[in-house]
Amino acid sequence: NNQLVMTADLPGQGEEWGLSTHPGITDFYMEVSFTTGDECASLDRYGVLVRAPDPNQGYVYGFSCDGRFRLYKWDGETYQGLQQWTSSTKIQTGPEQTNKLGILLSSDTIKLYANDYLLLELSDSTYDTGRFGLFIGSTNTEDLKIYVNDMSYWEVTE
């Protein structure tokens, strides 16, 4: 049905992601429309990996099925939380819900959006360019499915 279907087969296996083959980008705004499957609970999660210089590095921004968001950076060995799991009423919770995740990266500024609302603005300069991709992770749900309805980005110029 013109959707990408992401599946996490087993709970508790961490996050799985895949990167686009598109060349790296630097400053951009990205939006992804996700719809949760018929089961989605607690810290089952989904989102994006951006400015990834390789498949094991980059910024990871995501939503949980219970209405939280977080941002961390990953260097292939170490997780460093830039924003720990934080609840937001702007994120639709539970199964069969659609959320639009947005992220703006411009120089060292990072802005996080949910359904067109700004959630957080912060600064970090660890990764300045790289590829992008999608991730999924299940804490509770066997055979978790997340549907990607649309994914777009716009390069930002000064």
Confidence (pLDDT) at 9: 86
Confidence (pLDDT) at 140: 86
In this structure, are residues 41 and 146 in contact, taking their beta carbons and an 8 Å threshold?
no
Q: Mean pLDDT of all residues in the chain?
A: 95
What digits encode the pLDDT tens for the residues 19-61?
A: 999 999 999 999 999 999 999 999 999 999 999 999 899 999 9
Q: Which of 7-16, 42-51, 75-84, 129-138 has the lowest mean pLDDT?
A: 7-16
Confidence (pLDDT) at 157: 83
Confidence (pLDDT) at 158: 66
In Å, how far are 26, 32, 123 from 40, measured between CA atoms? 33, 18, 31
11 has a pLDDT exceeding 90: no
Instruction: Say whether pTM exceeds 0.85.
Output: yes
**Residue 32, phi then psi, degrees to nearest 5:** -135, 130
In this structure, are residues 31 and 101 in contact, taking their beta carbons and an 8 Å threshold?
yes
1 has a pLDDT exceeding 90: no
What digits encode the pLDDT tens for the residues 117-146?
A: 999 999 999 999 999 999 999 998 999 999
CA atoms within 13 A on the CB side of 48: 28
68 has a pLDDT exceeding 70: yes
Q: Is 11 helix (H, G, I), strand (E, B) or coil?
A: coil
Confidence (pLDDT) at 127: 97
